[in-house]
Structure 1
Amino acid sequence: GCIMTHLLAGHLRKEPPAEKASMRWHHTRNGTEQMPWRLSVFFCGMHIRDKEFMHLFETPLPHPTVHVFGKEDEFYDYGRDGFGYKPQEEYYVDPVILTHEEGHQFPTKQPRAKQIYDRVAAEIW
């Protein structure tokens, strides 16, 4: 899920327009930085692990993102090291980064869960 979203955003910013691309995608496939959606929200997201695609984020993408991480997630430390490159939130300009004290899951413990969902909703709307 999240890795594919990073790759899609990276490819849309770098690829030349496809000859038969629909008009809906044409503006993004023409090298622009604007994605055809307003915001990406990642829960327990992960960085790109294939070095072949890391060049897509040599410079941060100015696309709004929210990243929610559980500090008890078994993949938390692995996700923070960026696989020798950089963590996923550094792929984007001014990411919103939220953490909770739970594992690889949507947060449920109050009051932090409500704070996180309120902030995510505020970013969406």
Structure 2
Amino acid sequence: MKNLFSALILSTLALALTGPALADVSGLNAACGGLPTAPSVTQGDSADETAMRAYGAGMRDYTARLMTYLTCLDNHPASSADLASASYRREVISHRQQVVDQLEKSVSRFNTELKTFKSRQAQVAAVP
């Protein structure tokens, strides 16, 4: 988390001399194409292999889109006035942290469902 926070601050400071002002985080969100949504959860205790593979592909796509979104947040220019505003900086940092938290929760949920699916498959394979 320290690295993400440091990257946000450094990229924001490095870009302080260029770019138009962004009125608020919603403007930044719109400039970055909007926050991607996670794929719907596939239950590992009842899914077949095809469904789990589709869920995995959806998670890979979601993760890639979310990383692109985070990169945009980090690299989008902000005005000196925005950077001077403590409330703007707090909003950007808070929004970015919420996005990272959402990513971590989605990936954790996927890993839990995948583990459940694999456990169920191992039990089926073990039955003579």
Alignment TM-score, normalising by the size of structure 1: 0.24
As a proportion of its length, which structure holds more strand? 1
Q: Which has the higher contact order (CA 8 A, sep 6+)?
A: 2
As a proportion of its length, which structure holds more helix? 2
Q: Which has the larger radius of gyration?
A: 2
